[in-house]
Structure 1
């Protein structure tokens, strides 16, 4: 199989551990390349294998689709979440920072997303406004998790019992809400200055 060539023009996001590129020939996929090691990507790939095996409802997740070789290393393929317009969906961080939505507008959808994760026994290691996108659809919008889907602990039973999934996710949601409040405070500060 030919190596996929990735360039800076294809970068759609950069996190602490990985760079995300738009797939050059398949607009429905993105390619995540690890900056240091592939530990996070391997953990996510394993966890998605478990979710597929158990028939979990993954409709609010950017799902893992395999690996590819690229000019910058092994890439991990995931669904690229885009609006109906074809534009890459914006993260909650972007929307909150720019004042395009408020924390109140996402309060109920966030609770629904939290309930969905617990109901389907899906663990998310890092629930962050940067890891959730606001996908605009013809009928409104969907919140989609684009990163951090994996077992947050070293104990495999965490992913099998609903109350343990809830406890693990509750810790992540507490961090999420602190980050949202910080973003809202920054946005208010920018509004006051301008």
Structure 2
């Protein structure tokens, strides 16, 4: 298979370690590329291991963008994921965007958050990088939404704890509870800023 060519016109977003590009041959997919040099946590490898571990356990992935493996690009090895799209094919907005712009009522937000919490707890899924920008609010029907996780799964780094959280339910449940508390603090801060008409400190 020939090497996929990526350029700045395909860039969707850039995080601390990875850049996310639209797949030039399939606009329903994105490609995540490591761009940092030297020491890094290799989030591509972490997510690939974690999502495949979930698949092996036949976990419900209905609130996660699926992963399709590695491909070769002109910018290095990339990891292919589903692109977050609404029912009408339009790009999905981040949950932070929806909160900041008051597109959803507080009641609607709380309902979606509770659905996500139950999903994570039921399926023992680790959402560790709890930024609201890692959650997208997908419109699955007209004015009907669900939250999907596009980034931040599994662990922030390789190591014994990553293995532990994947193999021992007690530790997994503990980590889920701990990270959820962090997420709710972030969410409450964003709600307060939205009420005051202020933008979030970081990207939408």
Q: Normalising to structure 1: TM-score of the pair? A: 0.89
Give distance in 1, aligned partners of 2:124 and 2:31: 26
Unaligned runs of 5+ in 1: none
Superposed CA deviations along residues 32-78 of structure 1, whole A, max 9, x for unmatched, are 11121461110111111211111111111012111111121111111
Which deviates more from structure 2 when the two are superposed, residues 1-10 or residues 148-157? 148-157
CA contact (8 A) 1:122 1:159 kept: no
Change (3 A) 1:75 1:12: same
Matched, 1:175 2:185: no
2:103 maps to 100
Q: How far has the Cα of 1:115 moved from its partner?
A: 1.4
1:5 maps to 5
CA contact (8 A) 1:121 1:161 kept: no
Q: How far has the Cα of 1:103 moved from its partner?
A: 4.1
Which deviates more from structure 2 when the two are superposed, residues 85-94 or residues 166-175? 166-175
Change (3 A) 1:38 1:164: closer
Q: CA RMSD in A?
A: 2.0
Pairing 1:125-164 to 2, within 5 Å after superposition? 125-138=128-141, 140-151=144-155, 154-155=160-161, 156-164=163-171
Q: How far has the Cα of 1:102 moved from its partner?
A: 4.1
Pairing 1:41-60 to 2, within 5 Å after superposition? 41-60=44-63
2:192 maps to 185
CA contact (8 A) 2:124 2:176 kept: no
CA contact (8 A) 2:127 2:154 kept: yes
Unaligned runs of 5+ in 2: 199-204
CA contact (8 A) 2:135 2:150 kept: yes
